[in-house]
Amino acid sequence: MLRRSRTGPALLATLALSAVACGAASYREVRPSEPLAAAAGGLRVSAERVFLTDDTIENGVGDGTALVVELQLANTGPRPYDLAPTALWCLLQLDARRPDLTRLLPPSVNGEGPFPGALPEGGGDLHPIEVAAGQRRSFWILFRGYRFDGSAVPRRITLTLPDADGRTFELVLADPAEGLLRWEVPPTRSTWTVGIQSGSFYGNYVQAMSFSESVSRQASAGRFLWDAGLVSSVMVQVEGKLRSATSSFTGLGLDAHLTLPLFRWGEPTNPVRLGPYLGGQIQTLIEIQPTQKNTAMPQIPAIYGQGGPEIGLDLDVGALRNAATPFPLTPVGANPLPRWSARVGYTHTWIGHGTADGYFTGARFAW
């Protein structure tokens, strides 16, 4: 079982601050490529699951980095086993011949059972672990990370702890030197994109050209990719029935798209994908008026609604890559988010009291 430690007030304050710093983080499970277990002195320990903060995977090691390990302890010896929380350390080893380059991640928070996906309310605490003779205990423990020189180089990740006789032994969590003992990480499921788009509209009611900028949230859902966000536009009427002293309008609205990549080629880590997409946008167009040169009361600008469906082809290039970290991560997954995309599509849009056919061309870039 877990019981409260008599850790000193200064250490408790430091750990509490560390826990609060990690409290708002989101965590992603990374899957070791082979079972993780070790035994010594009547004690067997195994790692059931491993988690890293999303920010660490996507942006690299920083002050908010956290590594969570779910452990199971089996005491096969004749005596109870007590593990103090400060006796369990995570070591990041670069070269066995250079121990001065080894970095240590101290324990910060732990709890009984499986990791709940977030820290307990109030940040949590560290508790000693007691395992009676012939029993098993499962618990999770969080190790705080930090940026250091060489933090972009993969390292050997080990947990060290004393056995029932007090001798230190280690559980290897990952080792890039062995090649296969790595952590498989699923791709990033959502990200922000910025986009640009030009459009041309043709019809009896209006003929116009437009240029738009967008900020969208892009995500994957099975084989599909989707995005939704805000769009800001400038439209110039070449000929038509929209009322504007300058023949131009500024617009603000929403757009959304759903893409099904059907064809794929290139390297798995840098694919090129092509497929159809469906989508649409809706926005409000406001007349751009000339600068007033007299004190006369300005006229109320003309306002129109504009929107309609789109259909076309979407070309996705590349894949979002994980940041370089000391943790040896191997990306897995068949539908990663692209680094950038290009689109060409047809639209039938409603503008004011009429309609127009047209086409869009555009590109989006992830960050």
- In this predicted model, what pLDDT tens digit does every residue of 212-241 receive, in sequence order? 999 999 999 989 999 999 999 999 999 999
Question: Is the residue at 166 inside a domain?
Answer: yes
CA separation (Å) from 2 to 5, 125, 134, 143?
9, 11, 17, 18
The rounded distance, in Å, linking the Cα atoms of 87 and 74 is 17
Confidence of residue 24 (pLDDT cuts 50, 70, 90): low
Same domain, 300 and 348: yes
Same domain, 222 and 276: yes
* Cβ atoms of residues 236 and 246 within 8 Å: no
Structural domain harbouring 169? 14-181
Same domain, 204 and 171: no
Question: Is the residue at 246 inside a domain?
Answer: yes
Last residue of a domain, one of 117, 146, 181: 181
CATH code (residue 94)? 2.60.40
* Cβ atoms of residues 70 and 115 within 8 Å: yes
Q: What are residue 312's phi and psi, to 5 degrees? A: 180, -160
Question: Is the residue at 3 inside a domain?
Answer: no
Last residue of a domain, one of 181, 211, 228: 181
Question: Is the residue at 7 inside a domain?
Answer: no
Question: Is the residue at 68 inside a domain?
Answer: yes
pLDDT on residue 296: 64
Segment among 75-79, 121-125, 166-170, 183-187 with least mean pLDDT: 121-125
Same domain, 362 and 292: yes
State the Cα torsion 198-200-206-207 to the nearest 10°: 120
CA separation (Å) from 268 to 193, 320, 333, 342?
22, 12, 9, 19
Report the DSSP beta bridge partners of residue 361: 198, 344
Residue 14 has pLDDT above 70, yes or no: no
Same domain, 205 and 110: no
Same domain, 146 and 209: no
Give percent of the chain above pLDDT 90: 56
Question: Is the residue at 2 inside a domain?
Answer: no
Name the amino acid, one letter, at 300. I
- In this predicted model, what pLDDT tens digit does every residue of 248-284 receive, in sequence order? 999 999 999 999 999 999 887 789 999 999 999 999 9
Residue 5 has pLDDT above 60, yes or no: no
Q: What's the mean pLDDT when you consider all of the chain?
A: 87
Count of domains for the chain: 2
Same domain, 122 and 240: no
Same domain, 169 and 197: no
Last residue of a domain, one of 120, 146, 181: 181
CATH code (residue 215)? 2.40.160
Q: What is the 3-state secondary structure (H, E, C) of 106-145?
A: CEEEEEECCCCCCCCCCCCECCCEEECCCCEEEEEEEEEC
Interstrand relation of 270-287 and 263-267 (parallel, antiparallel or unpaired) = antiparallel
* End-to-end CA, the chain: 45
